[in-house]
Structure formats: structure tokens, C-alpha cells
């Protein structure tokens, strides 16, 4: 009997996985519920629909997403190749004609003799017992399938929205101002603290409450605001609200002044290497440019390097750090893989990457070949390690240089440092994929 690999979801990750499996001579059944049923954010009947921005971010070698694109090109990503074919002018970024992109991906997938597209909603995996399945249903996974995944994985819940605070690199924090410590001196002093005086707080507060926000979809508003309040919304309840909430200074003495600050911002470690930290209590819906402008008004963050901006939107994802291994396979069932934003990778190119690696590893399992596990020196490997390494504070992550092992010597010139990290990543990738692709 001929073996199939089943893929649920015809988005960026699902179609990339289908291509990678099919090119290895294995048959694919790709299940996509459109056009019979659409999620609240989708309207195009084609595969690989781009819902939000048409930008695939920077093409520069010295940018994290630019490096990720170079890695995907070396691993023969179908979707990145099509994105480059339908590129529209966008300076140093790769932007696409979204209609043409989806149409071209659909044509490639539907014309592939090894891929059968089945327009049907899948709400459970009962029919696939004994077969390999890749779940790539994205950030708007249907409620029925989400409920099934909760039962399948044995976790209490999936995360039905992404309410994440910004993350900055430790090395960009000004420790002439910042200090380590916990409230009342309790704990292991794992937090970085940024003290604010009255004038500094008032300046920050006034800019925060007047900053531009991202408009949410109607279907997101109720769910998100009931679950977690954005810092800018909390601030609008009164000038001192934050000082009695996430910025309360009680229990702290600023070692630089010997006095209690007027307000204090705390940063918590976000990776196991201690290179990136998130702003505690700063879930936000501010536009990215506004976050950079306003949050750099916080003393100690004036030169902050943001590796991830805060987001608040509907985003169904699993707790991959406890559930998945570094091949995107479910630890408790090696016939089930996940790919795309449901794993906690964030961004178009990151989703494509996860689909590529899940597809290759699922195919390698059928073919009896070695698993493809990329070095954490590569951007692909670093993201994969991040989402598959135990982390109680897990939140979705996109490509950034903060999650790569740092260069052995400190380099002040950021572009030079990133160029060296990118060169090292591509060299590691070549070593990883020799005889494995």
C-alpha cells in the first residue's frame, strides 16, 4: 500500500511542507477547508493566502530575516522562490504581489503529481491513525480542531491569543542606570530593574497614552481585552495606575541614589542563555515604531535593541517548548508534526521555515533517513531550538540575532557583528545539510 503524508492546512507552512515532501517522491494529501469554509480573517480561495502585510521583511544579509531567507534559499524553499518571482518594489525589503503570490503557490501545488489537495475541514485526527500528519492550521485554527489538539496533547489549554511584551537584548541595556534585584530583596535577583524619577515617568506616561495603536479585527477585540489589558489602555485609567500596577516601586531602593524610585520597570530573562529580556507587564497594541520611540524613553532603554515588539492579536499556538522536539515532531507521538504559527514561530518567513523543516523530517522518517537538526548557530536552528526548549514564559518568537549564540568577542559595530553571525550561520548550514537534503 502506497504511503501518504497528510497535511492539515494550506497556508505558508503547509504548502512548503507539501512541496518538500513531494520532491522527495512521497505522496501528499493536503487538506484545506477553503473555499468551503473561511476563517474570520481569510477571503481568498487560493492556498498560501497572505492576510496582513505583503512584506516578507528585510533582504539584507545583516538582518535576521534576511539571513533566514538566505538559509531557506540554500534549502530550496518553494515559497521563498515564488515570493522573489512576484516581488514588488519595497526598498531593502522583500514585498510581494499578494494575489499573484497565492495564485502561483496554488498552481505549483495543484500541478504537482505527488500532491492531492482536498478541500475539507478536519476537526480531529481519527482517520489518520497509523499515518503521518503535519498540523499546519495557523494562528486561526478552528475551535473544533483546537479542542481536539488540547485533548491530544494533554495540556490544559492552547493559547488563543498572543499578548506579548517587547523583548530587548541584554547588551543594549544601560547598566549605569539599570540594576539587578527583586522586590524587598527576596528571590535570586534575576530581574533587571529600570528606576524612573517623577519627571521621567510623566514624560513617558504622556507619550504612552497618546501613541498610535494597531487596530484589531472585530473578532479579536472581546477575546483579547478580556484576557489581558494592554499597558497603554491601563495607563489611560489614570496617571498613577501603572505606578500601582506593573511599575510599582514598592520594595526597591535604587543603589545608584540610595532612594526609592518614583516608578520602576522590570525586565525578565526570556531565553536560557540570558541574552534577551522582556518588559514585564508591557503587553501592548502600539504600532512597532511607536513602541521603539516610547519605550526608549524609559531610563536605561535609550539605546535598546528590540528583538521582538509587543503584539496583541488572535494567535492560536501550542506550548511547543513542552510538546515538540527539535524536528517539529510531537514528543508523545512520532507520527504527528506541527508547523507554522501554531508552533509559536512568528512571521511569514519563519512559518515557511518551520514547514520546510517539518516536511523534510516527516519525509526522512518515511524514507528511513537521518533527522535534519540544524545547528543553533543558524537562524533556522536557533528559532527551532527556542520553540522546543522548556520555557515557562514561552511566547511566540520571530527571527532575531538575540537568540543566536553570541560572537566570542564583543563587537561594538552592530552591522559588523551581525555580518559575522550571518557568515557563521551560513557556514554552519552548509555543514548541516551536506548529504542530508
Which tens digit of pLDDT belongs to each residue from 384-421? 999 999 988 788 899 999 999 988 888 888 899 999 99
**Residues, the chain:** 437
In the predicted model, residues of the chain with pLDDT beneath 70 are: 1-2, 38-43, 52, 156-163, 187, 216-228, 313-314, 435
Model pLDDT, residue 360? 98
Model pLDDT, residue 157? 62
Model pLDDT, residue 228? 65
d(CA 25, CA 19): 10
Catalogue the long-range contacts made by 263-267 (C-beta closer than 8 Å, 24 or more residues apart).
Answer: 263/195, 263/196, 263/201, 264/193, 264/194, 264/195, 264/196, 265/193, 265/194, 265/196, 265/298, 265/301, 266/191, 266/192, 266/193, 266/194, 267/168, 267/173, 267/178, 267/191, 267/192, 267/193, 267/194
Residue where the block lists cell 519563519 = 350
Angle at 55 between CA 301 and CA 426, to 5 degrees: 75
Among residues 397, 296, 410, which one has the least CA distance to residue 354? 397
Model pLDDT, residue 237? 93
d(CA 36, CA 269): 44
Residue where the block lists cell 478552528 = 142
Domains of the chain: residue spans and CATH? 4-158+318-433 (3.50.50.60), 169-312 (2.40.30)
Residue 371's CB is within 10 A of a number of other CB atoms, namely 14
Question: What does 186-199 look like in DSSP terms, one character per residue?
Answer: -S----EEEEE-HH
Chain centre to alpha carbon of residue 24: 28
Model pLDDT, residue 161? 62
Beta bridge partners of 317: 159
Among residues 229, 224, 223, 231, which one has the least CA distance to residue 247? 231
Among residues 392, 398, 377, which one has the least CA distance to residue 307? 398
Model pLDDT, residue 225? 45
Model pLDDT, residue 226? 44
Model pLDDT, residue 160? 59
Among residues 326, 19, 315, which one has the least CA distance to residue 138? 315
Grid cell of 303 as nine digits = 539605546
CB of 254 closer than 8 Å to CB of 195 = yes
Amino acid at each position: 500500500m502506497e504511503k501518504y503524508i497528510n497535511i492539515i492546512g494550506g497556508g505558508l507552512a503547509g504548502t512548503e511542507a507539501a512541496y518538500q515532501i513531494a520532491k522527495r517522491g512521497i505522496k501528499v494529501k493536503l487538506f484545506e477547508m477553503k473555499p468551503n469554509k473561511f476563517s474570520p480573517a481569510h477571503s481568498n480561495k487560493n492556498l498560501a493566502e497572505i492576510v496582513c502585510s505583503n512584506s516578507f521583511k528585510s533582504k539584507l544579509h545583516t538582518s535576521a530575516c534576511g539571513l533566514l531567507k538566505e538559509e531557506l534559499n540554500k534549502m530550496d524553499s518553494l515559497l521563498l522562490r515564488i515570493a522573489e518571482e512576484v516581488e514588488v518594489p519595497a526598498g531593502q525589503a522583500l514585498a510581494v504581489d499578494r494575489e499573484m503570490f497565492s495564485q502561483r503557490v496554488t498552481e505549483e501545488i495543484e500541478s504537482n503529481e505527488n500532491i492531492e489537495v482536498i478541500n475539507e475541514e478536519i476537526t480531529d485526527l481519527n482517520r489518520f491513525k497509523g499515518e503521518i500528519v503535519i498540523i499546519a492550521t495557523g494562528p486561526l485554527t478552528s475551535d473544533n480542531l483546537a479542542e481536539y489538539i488540547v485533548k491530544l496533547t494533554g495540556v490544559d489549554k492552547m493559547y488563543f491569543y498572543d499578548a506579548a511584551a517587547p523583548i530587548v537584548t541584554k547588551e543594549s541595556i544601560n547598566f549605569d542606570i539599570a540594576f539587578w534585584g527583586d522586590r524587598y530583596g527576596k528571590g535570586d535577583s534575576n530581574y533587571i530593574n529600570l528606576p524612573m524619577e517623577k519627571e521621567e515617568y510623566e514624560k513617558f506616561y504622556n507619550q504612552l497614552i497618546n501613541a498610535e495603536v494597531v487596530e484589531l479585527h472585530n473578532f479579536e477585540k472581546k477575546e483579547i481585552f478580556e484576557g489581558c489589558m494592554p499597558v497603554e489602555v491601563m495607563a489611560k485609567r489614570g496617571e498613577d495606575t501603572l505606578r500601582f500596577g506593573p511599575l510599582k516601586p514598592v520594595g526597591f531602593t535604587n543603589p545608584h541614589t540610595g532612594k526609592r524610585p518614583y516608578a520602576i520597570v522590570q525586565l525578565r530573562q526570556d531565553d536560557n542563555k540570558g541574552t534577551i529580556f522582556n518588559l514585564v507587564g508591557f503587553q501592548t497594541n502600539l504600532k512597532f515604531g511607536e513602541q521603539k520611540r516610547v519605550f526608549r524613553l524609559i531610563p536605561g532603554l535609550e539605546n535598546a535593541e528590540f528583538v521582538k515588539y509587543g503584539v496583541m492579536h488572535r494567535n492560536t499556538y501550542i506550548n511547543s517548548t513542552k510538546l515538540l522536539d527539535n524536528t517539529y515532531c510531537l514528543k508523545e507521538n512520532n507520527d504527528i508534526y506541527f508547523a507554522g504559527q501554531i508552533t509559536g514561530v512568528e512571521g511569514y518567513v519563519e512559518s515557511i521555515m518551520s514547514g520546510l523543516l517539518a516536511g523534510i523530517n516527516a519525509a526522512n522518517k518515511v524514507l528511513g533517513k537521518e533527522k535534519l537538526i540544524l545547528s543553533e548557530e543558524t537562524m533556522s536552528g536557533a528559532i527551532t531550538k527556542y520553540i522546543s526548549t522548556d520555557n515557562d514564559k514561552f511566547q511566540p518568537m520571530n527571527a532575531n540575532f538575540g537568540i543566536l549564540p553570541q560572537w566570542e568577542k564583543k563587537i561594538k559595530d552592530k552591522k559588523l557583528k551581525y555580518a559575522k553571525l550571518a557568515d557563521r550561520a551560513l557556514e554552519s548550514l552548509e555543514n548541516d545539510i551536506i548529504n542530508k537534503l
